């Protein structure tokens, strides 16, 4: 079996395992943890949703910022 096939299998297993752990967490653990205060679960979901909206903007802007300012800071460090 080739290297790429082995990496593909490992990657698939880790994705399915993460999906399984996330499902167990959401179905079994969350209702028990937030049973007394469901408002806190709503707040946690809201914060995650807001973060998911912000992440693409950060991913688009950071590489351009690094390209723009890298030369300035590397010259200041040398001189």
Averaged pLDDT, groups of 10, the chain, 79 residues long: 92 97 89 87 91 92 85 67
pLDDT at res. 78:
61
pLDDT at res. 76:
63
pLDDT at res. 67:
86
Q: What is the DSSP letter of 2?
A: -
The pTM score is 0.52
Report the C-alpha dihedral over residues 51, 53, 56, 61, rounded to 10 degrees: -80
> How far does CA 49 lie from the centroid of its chain?
12
pLDDT at res. 4:
92
pLDDT at res. 77:
62
């Amino acid at each position: 079996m080739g290297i790429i096939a082995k990496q593909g299998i490992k990657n698939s297993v880790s994705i399915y395992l993460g999906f399984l752990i996330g499902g167990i967490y959401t179905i079994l653990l969350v209702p028990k943890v937030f049973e007394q205060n469901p408002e806190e679960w709503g707040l946690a979901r809201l914060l995650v949703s807001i973060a998911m909206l912000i992440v693409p903007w950060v991913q688009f802007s950071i590489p351009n910022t690094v390209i723009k300012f890298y030369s300035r800071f590397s010259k200041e460090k040398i001189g």
